[in-house]
Structure formats: structure tokens, C-alpha cells
Amino acid sequence: MVVPRVVQTSRIEVFCNGGLARIFRHNENKCRRLSLLESRQTSGALMHHAGHKFHEVFQMKHGGYSELPAAKISELMKSNSLDIAPTQSLLSMVNGILDESMGRKNGEIPHQNNLFKTREEKYQSRIRVLEALANGTSGESRVDVTRTGNNMKGPTISLEDKKDGEEDMEMKGKDNKSVEIAALKQELENVRKIHEDQNKEATRKSQLNLENKLKEVENHLLESEMKVQELEANFSLKSQLWTNKEHIYKTFTEFQLGALKELRFASQSVRQEVLKTQKTYSHDFDHLGTKFKILQDAAASYEEVVSENQKLHNEIQELKGNIRVYCRVRPFLPSQKDKQSTIDYIGENGEIIVANPAKPGKECRKSFKFNKVYGPNATQAEVYGDIQQLVQSVLDGYNVCIFAYGQTGSGKTYTMSGPDKGSQEEWGVNYRALNDLFRISQSRSTYKYEVGKGTPERTISVLFLNSRTLGILATASLAVPDANMREVNEPSDVLRLMEIGFKNRARSTTSMNERSSRSHSVVTIHVHGTDLKNGGSLNAGLHLVDLAGSERIDRAEVVGDRLKEAQHINKSLAALGDVIFSLAQKSPHVPFRNSKLTQVLQASLGN
Ligand SMILES: Nc1ncnc2c1ncn2[C@@H]1O[C@H](COP(=O)(O)OP(=O)(O)OP(=O)(O)O)[C@@H](O)[C@H]1O
């Protein structure tokens, strides 16, 4: 801020070293605008006439008037340096100080008071200097204008005139000084007023500014407070969350630690358990090793025992007779309730006595001997009980042939197959034998068996020998369609096969049987066994034969084809009887070739 200065033109006369120096002071405003350099140059030129001390002070001016310490100024004021200093220099110095100070402090509102004080002091100082100058002019030495330089031009004055002139000049000087002092005071007053106005305006602006800033700050503060509150709320929430999380983690960690502890404990106990078990196992293994050795020995002896048993079993079978004949008495049919039984006696030893009162003498009671006789109440299971041992022999390599022989309607098919759609209890010999054959073959550990499968010789065949095939002895083909050489894996396969065969079996009504089988049924199951120990093998067959019923042609009252059929059947049965008789007699010749039936059964009947 530029402080306006009072425009003033003055003329200052300075007497220095007895000489008068007339210095016209320029308009102060202009002078103030003089560059510091000019001022310094002027001062430097006049310094030749000033005292050494003042010179020193001016030398300091190069560093800036404001840098003059107060003590130095005071010292300067007290010393007579100022007394001998040129007025222009003094004014330049004061102006310089003021300008510099103003320049520095300009616009610095907070320092305006200081600036004003400084200026005031300077003015005061200037006034004092001027007063001092004014007061001191009478005793001062005059400055010889000629000595002040050639440039200083003035009128030549005589001594008398000089005295009058000096007095006038002194008076004028005093007046001028007073005027100048008054002007300075006025200027000071003006400056003070301007300063006060400026100060007020600046203060008002500053206050306004401050108030605005205060408001801004207050707003900022409010916002900050709100933010702080928000942050505090957030912090509180987060703190709560972290506390909760900390609690959860703490609980979880405690739980984990607990679990770890338990695991460690469990691991230790498991380790101990494992060690204990290892010891027990080791002990058990030793024990097992011993037992295994015993078992091995026992197994070896068991195999020996088994083979011994098999041997004994088959010897028993042979002792019982390779040909055994069992007799079964059929109960009366529901249609025969009024009939009288002819069976007089059934003995435990296989004896049966048939009574016929119509016959004379010894003829009325006839006794027969069989391996065993089953009464009318014997069950299918009881009948099979004795046959079962023979099925075991098949798996030992023996050929077995079981056939039912008897007159028509005597119960052969019932014994061999059981009734149509009968229950398991009513199963006949065929089904039970087949079941046992598969079951026993699978249970034996010393042999590996193939029952009814493999090569054609090892399959099962169901053969029906009817009147036509029985009559054509030369024909090689005896097979019945759909019932020849089928591979089977289990009993149900055989049963299904037999059912198909029996459905196709020739049946017709005889005088003794409504559904009489008019053909021989031969079911053959081939068995192949491999000894797992020595690799030996065996082949055997089980033949289950349900013969066609024999008829007394005269009683059956058959004629035509039925008669021929009956004749064929009877003939084949007679041939079978001859064969069995020869076998029983151990006759060197067995007439197998007399019948197709005996030819088919040759393999199973012995040779
Ligand atoms: N032990 C028995 N218990 C009950 N019923 C029987 C018994 N034996 C046979 N039967 C019945 O007697 C009837 C004749 O039996 P089956 O057909 O078996 O005689 P068969 O000897 O086979 O006759 P064929 O030679 O004429 O074929 C059948 O109805 C049968 O159910």
C-alpha cells in the first residue's frame, strides 16, 4: 500500500564548516521517488564534508536503513554527527528510511501500527532534526559557497550586508523552519488520519475477512465434527465388530485348542492301542501259525479221511449191491376208496406179502423181497433218502442209473418227477437228485466239477423212448426234438428242460391210468470232475429213467396201434429185465442189444 505523501517544496540552507550551503529541496514526492541509488550518490558526494561518524552511518545504509538499530540512531542523534551532516543527506536518509520501511510494511495490515509508529517516530525525529537545525543556525559556522563547490552559484555579499543579511536570513530561516515544522506536523497529522482511516478500513475488511474465514472455519469445524461423529460411529461399530470377531476367534481358537488337545490325547491312546494290537496280533499270528500248522496236518489227514470215507461209502454201496430194487406201494386213489388192499405185510427188511384170497392154496399169499419196501404213506423225501447216497457216488466217479419200473398207473412218474405243479415237498427223485448233484459238487473243495456242461458228453440229455423209436432198433438217432444235449448251469436249467420234455411226452389213457406215459423217459446228467491236488479227472453219469408202464395186454383190452405200442413197451421192459437179471447173476453175457432201451442204458448199467 502506497502512503500518499504531502507535496512540499522547501528550501533548506545548511551551514556547514562555516560555509553556507544552499540546497534547494525538490518536491518531496519526487524526491521520495528518487532511486535509492541517486540518493546514495548524492549522499556520497556530500559525505566528504560530513564527519567520520556520519560517514560510517551512511556506509551502513548500504545494508538498508531499516537495519539500523535504534541504539545506533539514538547514538547518531546524540552525537554531533548530525550537526555536521548535510541537510540533503539527512533528508535523503529520513526519506529512505521511510520509503524502505513503508515499502516493506506496505500492505501488511497486521504491521501497520508498527509502521505508523515508525513513521511517526521518523517524522518526530525529522522535526527534531529540523528544530535542531533551526535552533543551531546562529552558532553554526557558515558555509563558504565558494568552498562548497564551483557548481554552487550565489551573489557576492559584503561584510556589512552580510551581517544584516545573516540576521534576516536567520529570521527567515527560523520562520521557514517553523513553517516547515508546522507543515510536517500537519503532514504527520494527515498521515495519521489517513493511516487511521486505512487502518479502520483494513481492520473492517480484515474483520470481515476473518468473520468469513471464521464462518468457513466454523463450517469446516461443523463438517469435521460431523465427520468425527461419523468416524466415531463407524469406529464404534467396527470396534464392536472386531470385538465380536475377536470373541469368535477366541472361542474358535479355544475350541480348536481343546480339539487339538483331545486329538493329541486320542492319538496317544490310539498309538498305545496300535502298539498293544501289534503285540496282540504278533501273538495271535504266532498262535495262528501253530494252529494253521495243526490245521494243515488235519487237512491232510482230512483229505485222507475223506477219500477213505468215499472209498468206504462206495464199498458199502457195492456191498449193498450194485443193483438195488426198492418197492413202493401206491396209496389208493380217491376214485378207489371202495377197493380192498392186497398188501398183507410190509417188513422192515424189505419183505412184502401180497394176499389174494381168490387164489387157491399158497398162491393166495405171495411174499416178495426187496432192498426196501415203502408203504403207501411213505413220503417223497423218505423214498429219496436211500437214493441220495447213490448221487454222492456219481461225484466219486460211479455211473448210477435209477429207474422206475411197474405196471401202468402204479406211481412211477409220481415217484420220479412228482405230481404236476407240485410243491417242493412233492418233488420227485429227479429234482432232488439234480439239486444234490449241483450242491455237493459245489461244496467239495478237493475236486472241481462240471455238471451238465462243457463237452457234449458232459451235458444233460433227456431222452424219451417211445414205441416208434423202440421199434426201430437199427436207427442211430434216438433223440427227441428240443430235448437233446443241453448245457445247464444250475438245477433250475435242468428242471426247465425236463418240464419241456415231459410236456411233449407221449401220453394216453390206459385202463389203469388216465394219463399214462407211453414212452420211456431217460434223463442223463454227465459229470466231469478234476482232482485239484493231483490233477486227476473223473467222468460219470446219473441216469434217471421213468419207464413206460407195462400192460397186461389181455386186461388192457388194447387193440391196433395201442396194442403194438404195448407190445413194444413190454418187450423192451422184458429185455431190460433180462439185462438186469444177467447183471445180478454176474453173467458173462448181458443181452444189452436185445432192446433199444437196454442199448441206451448200457453205459449206465455197468459196462
Ligand atoms: N404215492 C402216491 N401218492 C399219491 N398219489 C399217487 C402216488 N403214486 C401215484 N399216485 C397217483 O396215481 C396216479 C398214477 O400215477 P402215475 O401216473 O405216476 O403212474 P405211472 O406208473 O407213471 O403210470 P403209467 O405207466 O401209465 O405212466 C396219478 O394220478 C398219481 O398222482
Would you say 408 is a known binding-site residue? yes
Residue nearest to atom 4 of ligand 1 (CA): 331
Q: Name the 3-class secondary structure at 450.
A: strand
Would you say 407 is a known binding-site residue? yes
Ligand 1 centroid to residue 412 C-alpha, Å? 6
> Which tops the pLDDT comparison, 495 or 6?
495
Cell of 427: 418233488
Return mean pLDDT, the chain.
Answer: 72
> Does 406 sit in the ligand 1 pocket, CB within 6 Å?
yes
- Can you say how many angstroms the Cα of residue 528 is from the centroid of all Cα atoms in its chain? 57
Would you say 606 is a known binding-site residue? no
Name the residue of 328, 383, 414 whose CB sits within 8 Å of the most ligand 1 atoms, as the mutation to test its pocket.
414
Domain with CATH 3.40.850.10 in the chain: 383-605
ipTM of model = 0.98
Residue nearest to atom 10 of ligand 1 (CA): 411
> Which tops the pLDDT comparison, 114 or 70?
114
> Does 331 sit in the ligand 1 pocket, CB within 6 Å?
yes
CATH of 383-605, one of 3.30.70.250, 3.40.850.10, 3.30.230.70, 3.30.930.10: 3.40.850.10
Cell of 583: 447183471
- Summarised one tens digit per residue, pLDDT across range 314-350 is 777 666 667 788 999 999 988 888 888 888 899 988 9
Out of 88-97, 181-190, 247-256, least confident range: 88-97
CA dihedral 112, 116, 122, 125 (to 10 degrees): -150
pTM of the full structure = 0.50
Ligand 1 centroid to residue 380 C-alpha, Å? 13
- Summarised one tens digit per residue, pLDDT across range 556-573 is 466 677 677 777 778 888
347 Cβ contact list (under 8 Å, min separation 6): 373
pLDDT above 90 covers what percent of the chain? 13
For residue 594, is pLDDT > 90? no
pLDDT band at 62 (very low <50, low <70, confident <90, very high): very low
Highest mean pLDDT among 337-341, 355-359, 364-368: 364-368
pLDDT band at 384 (very low <50, low <70, confident <90, very high): very high
Residues 30 and 346: their CA atoms lie apart, in Å, by: 177
Phi, then psi, of 10 in degrees rounded to 5: -140, 165
Cell 510494511 belongs to: 105
Which pLDDT does position 534 carry in this prediction? 85
Ligand 1 centroid to residue 231 C-alpha, Å? 108
Ligand 1 centroid to residue 452 C-alpha, Å? 29
- Summarised one tens digit per residue, pLDDT across range 197-215 is 888 888 888 888 888 888 8
> Does 510 sit in the ligand 1 pocket, CB within 6 Å?
yes
Which pLDDT does position 161 carry in this prediction? 59
> Does 418 sit in the ligand 1 pocket, CB within 6 Å?
no
Name the residue of 329, 330, 341 whose CB sits within 8 Å of the most ligand 1 atoms, as the mutation to test its pocket.
330
- Summarised one tens digit per residue, pLDDT across range 421-446 is 788 899 899 889 888 888 888 888 77
Which pLDDT does position 455 carry in this prediction? 45
